[in-house]
Amino acid sequence: MATNEGEWLIPFKGRNASGAYNQNFLWRRWNVYVMDNHRAALWCWLQHVDPDSPHSIFHIDRHTDTLQSRMNEWLEHVPSSWNIGIEEYLNHSYVPDELGVGPIPVIRWDNYLSIYLALFGQDVSACYFATHKDGDDPNYDSPMHVCMWDVPFNLDYWLGLGRKPWIMNLDLDYFFCDGEEDRAQRMIADPYIDRCMDIIRAKMADQTIAVTTIAITPSDNFTGGWGPSEAMMEQVLSRLGIDFQLP
């Protein structure tokens, strides 16, 4: 599969910092979405899953992405309809209560999942968290926290327990740890990653997984920067049967 068989939803803007809001790219092939900033994931899910019907989520990420510090404020300003394009979704903003602060986007990389659970959590039948427990506890009644070393050997089993369809939400920073001079280093070997991706590919094929979102998080302190995160991205996508490289 060549790169041009996919679709650029946000054309590549360059290897810039992502931060809380900057979206440098969003690319899709089939029901697999690849992005630098995880904040686009919620929009991607809604293209494939009815959030008001039973479904499940598997979140693999260094962070929980369930920030709740301003939940009431965010919920007050979410879009009135989710039937919107990606640009409108990313640009949807509000003016916070603080004096002198201009409009800021509602959706951030660390709150998109907590907003989703606040709005649609009553229809999420299972929600698994494979994380480094970095971030707020999930705002979900019975989150299943799973150990990193159990994931390759139990992912297939866990995906058989929850109510289909599944959202598979992956951030490549899960496979990295803190390194020297504030630059993350890879901590997971190829067999672990390959086994997980092979399971995900099989579950995509049998329609257990409805949508897969992959954030590469190209920051020095989480993945070592663009180079290491892109190399990991290419490995992960290759196991999913997708040939893709950034320009």
CA distance 147 to 161: 17
Residues 193 and 180: beta-carbon distance below 8 Å: no
DSSP string, 199-241: HHHHHHHTTSEEEEEEE----HHHHSSHHHHHHHHHHHHHHTT
In the predicted model, is pLDDT for residue 17 greater than 90?
yes
pLDDT tens-digit series, residues 121-141? 999 999 999 999 999 999 999
Which residues are CB-neighbours of 150 under 8 A, at least 6 positions away?
A: none
CATH number at 3-239: 3.40.800
In the predicted model, is pLDDT for residue 4 greater than 90?
no
pLDDT tens-digit series, residues 136-171? 999 999 999 999 999 999 999 999 999 999 999 999
Share of the chain above pLDDT 70, in %: 98
CA distance 115 to 110: 10
Alpha helices in 48-189 (DSSP H): 71-76, 86-91, 112-120, 151-159
For 44, counting Cβ atoms within 10 Å of its Cβ (0-12 exposed, 13-18 middle, 19+ buried), the class is: buried
- pTM of the complete model: 0.96
pLDDT tens-digit series, residues 233-243? 999 999 999 99
In the predicted model, is pLDDT for residue 181 greater than 90?
no
Distances (CA, A) of 44 to 84, 92, 210: 11, 15, 11
Across the chain, what does the average pLDDT equal? 96
